[in-house]
Each structure stands twice: as structure tokens, then as C-alpha cells.
Amino acid sequence: MSLRHPIYTEDTDTIRDQIRRFCDQEIEPHGETWEEEGTFPRELYKKAGDAGLLGLGFPEEYGGGGGILFYCLVREEVAATGFGGVRVGLMAHGIGLPPVLNLGSEALKRRIAPEVLRGDKIICLAISEPNGGSDVANIKTTARADGDHYVVNGEKAFISNGVRADYMSVAVRTGGEGMGGVSLLLIEADTPGISRTNMRKSGWWSSDTAQITFDNVRVPKGNLLGPENGGFRGIMNNFNLERLGIAATQIGTSRCAYNEAVRYAHERMTFGRHLSEFQVVRHKLVEMAMRIQSMEAQTDTLIWRVMQGESCIAEIAMLKAYCGAAHEWIAAEAAQIFGGASVLRGHKVERIFRESKILTIGGGSTEVMKDLASRQLGW
């Protein structure tokens, strides 16, 4: 049985083993090729859906199973492969689908959720814009009421799975300035007036990241998620879930970097000795293990508190900031142990180090997380 938090039982350990087997069979043999090609096959969604991975953390009535614990568990284990692009591309429904399930009509939930969790369709979350990511209250994309439709105009940027998505959960402005004028819409990606461009980036190569333009896109009012001008709260709740998932992701990716560093330190000979025989290297490895254990302990405790019904907004913001810093440090130290090999493509540590900055920005930058925490704590 797991030696982590009591929330992990024989059942969760069984699920973890199943996720690892899927990753070993379907991701590990191909991940490097997919990263270099800048994409992975759409059929991977179907395979993950058939294996039950996409449904973990979602309600059973729509084809899922388990709660927040399983939501984080699958993200941790897929991240532990070290293929960040595959992980973010395969798991992006984890932020795109919750607004539909939490705020959409029952008809919309039953039409959209099962086919996404089966891997038949892909959904993304479109909030960030070219001139603003974390500043959700000031989004510029508009949705003007016109009969029984909204007409959407504007741009989104940095949208994971935005190119290949079939559905988009989109933040729009239906009212006046500030958070009180923000709504959420479910937009079908083949609607006339939508254009999408893949953004080139330093990491997560096998995942598409889109810039999306909406030009007089007509969206049925029945696709409104929650009340008009009431989307801001839904977005904030979604961020809380996303940030817990990011913390789990940082644990998995850090664990991969640590394991790679341990292996290399025992294999690499320098000055007639294995790297692992040098005290300075052993101390690096111990410090990496200490930080991973701290990340696990804090994340597991907050998962348990959320399971008890707490919101933990400040604590989750601080967790994301802490895990971001710990993950960056671990990635950098693993690269230091690899030395010159850490800049050669084909090594997991090279990719993890190159991509480590992304997770300190996505889902809310470290600086925004600290400011949010201070305000939640009443400072």
C-alpha cells in the first residue's frame, strides 16, 4: 500500500498501477518521436478513454469515476513519463470540461461530456488573451446578444488543444467592465467565423497551443454556461481545480527528473568514480527527494481538505507557487548532474529543464498566486 497520505488505499494503488501500465505501453515507446514531430495521434485519446484514464475525476453518470483524488492521480502519473506535451494535450479536458459539468444545462452535459470522456471528442478551455492571461476580469472578447444567439468577437491565446479541439469553453464579455460582465460559453469549434493558428513555443512540442480568432461567431444562447454575467466565479472555481492538478503534475515531472538523475549518477564515470560517489552529488539527490516529499505531503493534505468540502483558495495558490519553485529547482539540479548531456535532445532531463518555467506561469503565475493568497488571508 502507498506510504503517502491515508487517502491512498489499495484501490487507489490499483488505479495508479493501471495508469502506469497504460503509460508504459502507449506513451513511453512513442513519446520522444511525438515530441520531435510536434504532435501525437488523435487515436491516443480514444485509447485513453477506453482505458478509463480520461474519466478519472469526473462523475460516473457521464462516463467518469472517482473525485479530485483520481483527477490529480492521473495527472501525476502521466506527467511522470517526462513527456510534457503528451500530458498537457491528453489531459486538457481536465480544465475544458468542468465548466460544462458545473454550469451547463443537463442537456448540454449529456451531449458533450460522455463523448469527451470516451476520447471521441476533444475540448479546451479558452480564457487567456494576447494581452492578458491571469487578469480574467479584464478580458476583451465580446459576446453580443442577437435574438436567440450571441455574436462573439475577439481573440484568445495560449490555448492548450485549441487547434485540434472540437469544443471550447470560452470566457466572453456579455456585460460591462470588470468581473461582473464576464460569462462562459460552450462554442463548437467548427462554427463559421473561427480561425485557429498553432503557436510555436519552447516546450510541450507535441501539444498544440493555439491563438484563436472569433469573427462574428454565432453561438446559441442555450450554450451559455451558468448565468449571464456570472462566469467569473465559475472561472475562479475552475482555476482552483486546475492548480491542484498542476501541483500533481509538478510532483510527477519532478519525480521523473529525480529518477533520471539517480540513474545517471550511478552510471556516469568521472575522475575514475561514479558521480554518485561524490558527496556533493549525493547531497543534491537527497535535497531533490526532500523537496518531492514536501510537495507530496502538501498536495495530499490539500486534496484531503477539498474532499472534506473546503475551498482552500489561499492554500492552493501557495501550493502552486511552492511546487513551481521546487520543480524548477529539481529540474535545474537534475540538469547540473547530467552536465553537458543535459542540453542534448533525447534526454528527458533536457526536456523537463526546458519546460520547467511553463508550469510556474500556466494556471496563474507565481506572482499572481502569492498576491491572491495574501488577499485571501486578509493582508
pLDDT tens-digit readout, 320-346: 999 999 999 999 999 999 999 999 999
Mean pLDDT on 157-182: 96
pLDDT of residue 135: 80
Could you read off the pLDDT of 241-259 as tens digits, one per residue? 999 999 999 999 999 999 9
pLDDT of residue 62: 97
pLDDT of residue 172: 97
Could you read off the pLDDT of 303-319 as tens digits, one per residue? 999 999 999 999 999 99
The model's confidence at residue 133, banded by pLDDT at 50, 70 and 90, is: low
* pLDDT at 207 > cutoff 90: yes
Mean pLDDT on 39-61: 97
* pLDDT at 1 > cutoff 50: no
pLDDT of residue 4: 82
pLDDT of residue 2: 57
Mean pLDDT on 178-182: 94
Of 216 and 2, the structure prediction assigns the larger pLDDT to 216
* Domain spanning 233-376: CATH superfamily: Butyryl-CoA Dehydrogenase, subunit A, domain 3 (1.20.140.10)
* pLDDT at 210 > cutoff 60: yes
10-117 belongs to CATH 1.10.540.10:
yes
What's the whole-number average pLDDT of the chain? 96
The model's confidence at residue 95, banded by pLDDT at 50, 70 and 90, is: very high
pLDDT of residue 131: 83
Entry pTM: 0.95
Residue range(s) occupied by CATH 1.10.540.10 in the chain: 10-117
Mean pLDDT on 73-100: 98
pLDDT of residue 137: 85
pLDDT of residue 3: 67
pLDDT of residue 136: 86
Could you read off the pLDDT of 181-205 as tens digits, one per residue? 999 999 999 999 999 999 999 999 9
In the CATH scheme, what is the code of domain 123-229? 2.40.110.10
* pLDDT at 23 > cutoff 80: yes
Residue range(s) occupied by CATH 2.40.110.10 in the chain: 123-229
SS (H, E, C) the chain: CCCCCCCCCHHHHHHHHHHHHHHHHHHCCCHHHHHHHCCCCCHHHHHHHHCCCCCECCCHHHCCECCHHHHHHHHHHHHCCCCHHHHHHHHCHHHHCHHHHHHCCHHHHHHHHHHHHCCCCCEEEECCECCECCCHHHCCCEEEEECCEEEEEEEEEEEECCCCCCEEEEEEECCCCCHHHEEEEEEECCCCCEEEEECCCCCCCCCCEEEEEEEEEEEEHHHEECCCCCHHHHHHHHHHHHHHHHHHHHHHHHHHHHHHHHHHHHHCEECCEEHHHCHHHHHHHHHHHHHHHHHHHHHHHHHHHHHCCCCCHHHHHHHHHHHHHHHHHHHHHHHHHHHHHHHCCCCHHHHHHHHCCHHHCCCCCHHHHHHHHHHHCCC
